Chains A and B, each alone.
Chain A
Amino acid sequence: MDNSEATFYLSQFIGKNLRIHTTDNRIFGGQMKCTDKDRNIILALTYEYRAPAEAEIRRAVEASGNPTAPVSWNSRYVGLVVVPGAHVKKIEFEESGYGKSVVVL
């Protein structure tokens, strides 16, 4: 991929919602504002999602007796964040369910 191709590809995601999984197993969902060569990504209007602790899952399962009991993830608003490239594990693009988006994947 050459530079202009890469720039085009990346700029498609500007203002679009991304979900970034970090190395500590959190997920950040927000609007992409900026990225660079080191894959540092700035997200705006971001929410942080964290998987429930194991103990909590165990408690929920024991309480309901259902091994697939739903346990909600903890989420909170964190606003504008920069996720350093070194900690990015997985990037997901959220395609809106309404209408077709014009992003070339």
Chain B
Amino acid sequence: MAENHAAASGSAADAIINLDGSTSSKDGTSSDTRPLPVGLPLRQALHHPAPQPKYHDITEKFERACSALNVGQLVKDEYFTLFESIGALEIMDPKMDSGFLQPGETLEDDYDTLAPLLPEEVIGIMDQLLCYEMAWHTGYPLSQTLFTSMYIDKLLWPEPHTFEQAQFYRGGLPEERKLDVMLEVLRAYCLALIKCCDFVIAKITGRDYFEEEDFCTHTYNRVLFVNTPMDVFLRELDAAMEGLEDIEFSIDQALRKALVSRLNFRKHFLTALDLDCPLDHLEKYWPPISSTLTPINTTHQLGKPVPGAFSTKLQRRLASTVPPRPIVELSFPDAFSNLKQLCLDCSEATRFTTLPPDPLEYQSFLWAYASRSPPPLPYSRSYLASLLFHPTTLNASTSFPLSDLHTILLPASPLIDPTNWTLSPPLNPMLPKPPRIQFALLIDEFIDRVGAPYLEFWTALGQNRCRLRRMLGHVILAWDQLQSDAGLVDEDIHRAASELGIRDEIIEFPLSSWTYAKKLWMVEKMVLLGFEQDIYLPDEYAAQYSFLSSISARRRTVLSNLTTHLETRHRAFLASAPPDLQSAHEVEESIQHVQSLLADATGISALADALSRFYTLALYLRLLPSPTRPFSTETLRYELRMKPFLTLQPPEVLPFDEFMAVVRPFGPFENLDPGFWDAVSRPEVRVWGEMEKSVKTAKEAFAKVKRLGAKAARAEGVEKHWAKEVQGALASCVALGVAVAGVRSAAKGVKKGDELGVRVEVPVMGSGKRYAEGWVVGRVGKK
């Protein structure tokens, strides 16, 4: 601006330039040599310079004022709390201040990023970068991983304005040096790596994730080429590969191959991470990567590490409000197996797109995916979630909750007859609406209401197992609320149905039954996850399994009512003249599914009951470790365990006294019922009989689930995992049978004060000694 006006006259130019405060570049001569514009009056734009702040040295007075303060007196902002002040970084404290330099230490490393590199060194750096990349994927921040690389730092800072500026140097190359081929290769690899990080961050932040718990997306004010499209990076990689293939460039063949395989991997990886992959081509992206992985692993030993290429000092220049932290070292084998797992998990996730569009299939898939071991990394989970919540998935012709309702509850039901939606309401709004329109409106209203809790449930299923358990606690509350709302809708439905005279075609409380069954399923899973994650201690097993058993018993009741209703409907369709075969078929499919659910609930209830009884006896017989808890009482502990479920209605949590009667059938441990020893010492008596009966029921029920198959369970897409789960439950039944027999024979003829001569060993989580992670079956062994 100033320059243009300056053209008018020398003296005016001076004034204006001065006004702008940009006098530094002015030398007075340039304005004289410029041609004068003809005949235009000089118009001065209203141009006030930004007022410069003034600085006053207040050191001395500040110091005097401070020393006049009393000890312990603070002069502070009234809204500034001690709590906040704890978060302040202490300057000059080597542990907190990332900018603190030890005596003689320099800020910058003197590592030269333009120094020629050997091919071995480039391989070493690439592999090290891969390790850091994987460490980042497992949850460490970039500042402790990739951003410690000198090369990446040079590419990203100072921020390049164009892509071409992203070099290992800024400005011109000194002394007309040409960039070595090896450096070009490394540059292409680093650029693509940075873009990979950008894609990963975009994908993860696009879905539900927990910053710093799951993953750190912080980039410390560095921009990871957000606006540069992917093909630019692919071109760089291609160019680098061409450079390597150049015959004039002499290099050992093995090294050449190793480098090409790394570039090739990066190319495929970057393509697969691309955000805009069309859904129907997904299977082309992840599987090819697996083939590019092996050569990286086999040629790793060719590399030569270059420790100087990484430094924690780079953290000093990152915009960071946290103290400096050491570089995270992940060994190459670990990093490689993480990478392999990531690729596997993602290609498994792409199978999601091939599932039949059925919410129950989706649910099974999500459940199976969350159960994968090792647990999928945040990226893989976000990847699956982005497929699940992809518009093409969500915009199914029937909304998910409705098709869920349809499968479980209302196959061929007049309640969701499509013709209900085609009727027009009476023109006069004062007239009552015909019952069929009421059905449509009520169902619409309910589906609308279900939407949020339903998605919330799926979001929870997309988290890792620990968080899944915790989030289920919240989801259950939402479904509890939903159930009470569903009750109101049910009343209206009944009224409309009675008007139509089809009361018997609709099950009692349809919508609340559906909601209830789903909610109970979640409560069961939550408790089972608690066992899976060793939340409960062995002396709490009896209580928790007893609770689980009561929950699934309730689900069993709901489902068996449903089965009865569906079977009646099925018979009615067949008996009608002419028989309505299509509806009958629809109902039959639902019956299959509900049967599978029913058998599952029966199995869970029976097995949990047996385990509860087993652990109760084990407690009485002092076979389980029970820690001393001087600072808590049984009542408080019970309240704490039941906290997530206390507000539910139904199922109401048992009051403490009733609960105690269930888990302490023989009275308190210190003051045993005299009948106890008599009851356990004779193998033929009820205590043992009941336990065995439950085990038997459970075994039969799980066998039925297995027989009905994955299709009936709506888990066809993940049949293998489903079969493993059912098999695990069956095996747990068998194991429990053995354990019960073991304790029974040991307890035979035992009297008060006798040692039993056996011990119960509780398999810990993740040790591979449990047949199913949620079913903790103790092993009985000789002492």
Contact = CB atoms under 8 A, between A and B. Distances in A.
**A in complex with B:** yes
Interface of A: 1-3, 5-7, 9-11, 13-15, 17, 19, 22-24, 26, 28, 33-39, 42, 44, 48, 50, 53, 56, 74, 76-85, 87-98, 105
A10 B77 CA distance: 11
Contacts of B71: 37
Given A2-B68, A42-B85, A82-B85, A10 B75 contact: yes
Given A6-B68, A22-B92, A42-B80, A80 B87 contact: yes
Contacts of B65: 1, 5-6, 9-10
A90 B318 CA distance: 25
Nearest to A80: B88
In order of increasing CB-CB distance, the 6 nearest A-B pairs are A97-B51, A79-B321, A6-B68, A34-B76, A6-B65, A77-B319
A14 B91 contact: no
Contacts of B640: none
Given A35-B75, A53-B106, A105-B56, A23 B66 contact: no
B227 to A, nearest CB: 22
B629 interface: no
Contacts of A6: 64-66, 68-69
Interface in B288-318: 316-318
Contacts of A77: 221, 319-321
A28 B68 CA distance: 24
Nearest to B78: A14
Contacts of B431: none
B52 A84 contact: no
B281 interface: no
Contact of B69 (A7, A17, A82): A7
A87 B57 CA distance: 16
A95 B58 contact: no
B59 interface: yes
Contacts of B164: none
Contacts of A95: 53-56
B73 interface: yes
Nearest to B84: A80
A14 B319 CA distance: 25
A9 to B, nearest CB: 5
Interface of B: 50-59, 61-77, 80, 84-85, 87-93, 98-101, 106-108, 221, 316-321
A4 B403 CA distance: 74
A85 B80 CA distance: 19
A81 B68 contact: no
A53 B107 contact: yes
18 contacts: A1-B68, A5-B65, A34-B85, A35-B66, A35-B75, A37-B66, A37-B70, A42-B85, A42-B88, A53-B107, A74-B317, A81-B89, A81-B91, A89-B59, A91-B58, A92-B57, A97-B51, A105-B56
Contacts of B55: 19, 92-95
A24 B99 CA distance: 10
A11 B65 CA distance: 10
B89 A78 contact: yes
Contacts of B317: 74, 76
Nearest to B93: A84
A37 B58 contact: no
B400 to A, nearest CB: 44
B92 A80 contact: no
Contact of B318 (A11, A76, A94): A76
Given A53-B106, A76-B317, A95-B55, A15 B62 contact: no
Given A14-B75, A78-B320, A83 B91 contact: yes
B320 A91 contact: no
Contacts of B80: 33-34, 42, 44
A7 B221 CA distance: 38
A50 B80 CA distance: 28
A28 B63 CA distance: 17
Contacts of A9: 61, 65
Contacts of B61: 9, 105
Given A77-B319, A78-B319, 16 more contacts: A6-B65, A34-B74, A35-B74, A37-B66, A37-B73, A39-B63, A56-B108, A78-B98, A82-B91, A90-B59, A92-B59, A93-B56, A94-B54, A94-B55, A95-B53, A98-B51
B409 to A, nearest CB: 54
B99 A39 contact: no
A83 B96 CA distance: 12
